[in-house]
Chains A and B, each alone.
Chain A
């Protein structure tokens, strides 16, 4: 290895690595920035809060997609 050719890989950059990185950005964005907006949606279904439903859907979807991608062909 030399200074002229720096190593620049990340996961490394396999197809599933790219997908997982995209999930990380998208799902963290949904959890960190969209969820607080959802919290202000009126509770239209009895006592069930939109925030609780939304974060659970996002969280568990991310988990399932992560596992599925982790086992796919590279």
Chain B
């Protein structure tokens, strides 16, 4: 097959991006393990400067939805997507600010490697830790695949089919395995810094180009968009999705909460040199998280003006294909290549941390805690690498199989909802609530109840239930999941034995002392 200049430039950008990834994350002494231990592989700690965490964690938190998903979303729905401020700011300034420094202090004190280990330690239950590890890993498999399918589709499309979708999937997966398998979370961290930069370059570069097509006149762009698609400039938007009920129940309950307590974030909280750095990161990271979405308004609306109806024929069809089709047609080859590399960066920067964080939970809290308790660190490290490899290959395999199934989109939404059900278990461990205590059974049954309600309100017809159970009364299933989780967690906690006094002393009293020493209350200072 002959390669034209445009394809060659795109391939050159992709190869350049891959080369940079391996220069930063594949060879240097900075990524090598300092100790050949399970902890250093899955949860290295206290070495990363604040600015680098800010950049890397921002890339890690943004999934492939950032590129190209959000452009398709804007194209379909319009300015309702500015709802993202609910999660790009709310997640950080509410949840990350609250949980991040506490998780950092506890891990530094007691050596927790994973989120599930921390939960199991507080509730004195290895079974609960193992359950959380297995439950979250199963739930997040969809998230893994979403971070492969989007970029792989764009990579295949961008090279004009030169790289078939299947091959694009394996390129994306093998690169990630290439730097996570040897170096664990250090490989994740250093490559995420680069990927964060590439993502900003791709989104802002594309937006600047798009704006140039409207003579640098944002006003003209909005006015033209209003002529072409007036519904896109108000609610409920072009597809009628953003009803008042869905506006807040989707953005807050389905995204904001899980984003702050994802296992991959737990690993990131430990990289900081101090709890104060974790706190500062929570203050500053909304700038990165929101800045990725600022140019999307230009990309989404400009695409709507240039291509009012989505492509119905060709290699890629539907609303998600509109923006790439416009860019393929109009953008300079170099920018088009950077955008495709940016999409790979968006997906890989989440996939890598997910791979390592979930492998860490499976090895540390299932294999090591329950199956093989007395083995050498070398053994656990080897098993850890094998699990990273298996999960990576599994995610690639599912991505190819599931690429044609619309259910994948739904499952991505479910995975966040499932992770949200951990909130009572997490807050019960790290946040004193007066005399009330979340108990082991409250945490466990809250997760179970939330998962059941989440499934029923997302897949009612598949379960043979009435259709009205889908997002009942117009509110997103995540809201009902949240209510079920907390109601069950609280009621069960009221009638079951509280966590042992030792846990209260080691967690709540310890955090109380540490935080009051770090941040003395105003009256104490006076």
Contacts and interface: CB of A to CB of B under 8 A. Distances in A.
Interface stretch (B185-193, B414-422, B515-523): B515-523
A62 B512 contact: no
Interface in A26-68: 27-28, 31-33, 35-36, 39-40, 43, 46-49, 51-52, 55-56, 58-60, 62-63, 66-67
Interface in B24-75: none
B311 interface: no
B504 A1 contact: yes
Interface in A5-27: 6-15, 17, 20, 23-24, 27
A3 B82 CA distance: 46
Dominant SS among interface residues on chain B: helix
Contact of B83 (A11, A27, A48, A55): A55
A69 B521 CA distance: 15
Given A7-B432, A7-B508, A47-B224, A70 B279 contact: yes
B280 A62 contact: no
A39 B508 CA distance: 44
Interface residues of A, number: 44
A70 B96 CA distance: 14
A12 B516 contact: yes
B88 A59 contact: yes
Contacts of B522: 14-15, 74
A54 B290 CA distance: 15
B247 A35 contact: yes
Given A35-B247, A60-B290, 10 more contacts: A1-B509, A6-B432, A23-B93, A28-B86, A39-B234, A43-B234, A47-B222, A47-B225, A62-B286, A66-B89
The residue in B284, B431, B509, B519 that gathers the most chain A C-beta atoms within 10 A of its C-beta is B519
20 contacts: A1-B512, A8-B434, A9-B515, A14-B522, A15-B522, A31-B85, A32-B252, A39-B234, A46-B223, A47-B223, A52-B79, A52-B82, A55-B83, A56-B85, A59-B290, A62-B85, A63-B89, A66-B89, A66-B93, A70-B283
A49 B434 contact: no
Nearest to B221: A47
B521 A63 contact: no
A36 B243 CA distance: 8
The residue in A28, A49, A58 that gathers the most chain B C-beta atoms within 10 A of its C-beta is A49
Contacts of B227: 47
Interface string B385-405: 000000000000000000000
B222 A46 contact: yes
A52 B222 CA distance: 11
Contacts, number: 143
Interface of B: 79-80, 82-83, 85-86, 88-90, 93-94, 97-98, 219, 221-227, 233-235, 242, 244, 247-248, 251-252, 279-280, 283-284, 286-287, 290, 297, 431-435, 501, 504-505, 508-509, 512, 515-516, 519-522, 525
Contacts of B244: 36
A7 to B, nearest CB: 4
Given A28-B90, A43-B226, A49 B290 contact: no
Contact of A7 (B223, B283, B512): B512
Contact of A48 (B222, B235, B521): B222
Nearest first, the 6 closest Cβ-Cβ pairs linking A and B are A59-B85, A47-B226, A47-B223, A47-B222, A49-B233, A39-B235
Contacts of B242: 36
A12 B79 CA distance: 37
Contacts of A36: 235, 242, 244, 247-248
Given A32-B247, A43-B226, A9 B516 contact: yes
A14 B97 CA distance: 14
Nearest to B256: A28
A51 B508 contact: no
B79 A51 contact: yes
A39 B431 CA distance: 37
Contacts of A10: 98, 431
A39 B297 CA distance: 16
A47 B219 contact: yes
B144 to A, nearest CB: 29
A35 B234 CA distance: 10
B512 A9 contact: yes
Nearest to B247: A36
A47 B234 CA distance: 11
Contacts of B219: 46-48
Contacts of A6: 432, 434-435
Contacts of B88: 59
Contact of B283 (A12, A17, A66): A66
Contacts of B224: 47
A3 B434 CA distance: 10
Given A58-B85, A66-B93, A51 B519 contact: no
Contact of B248 (A8, A11, A33): A33
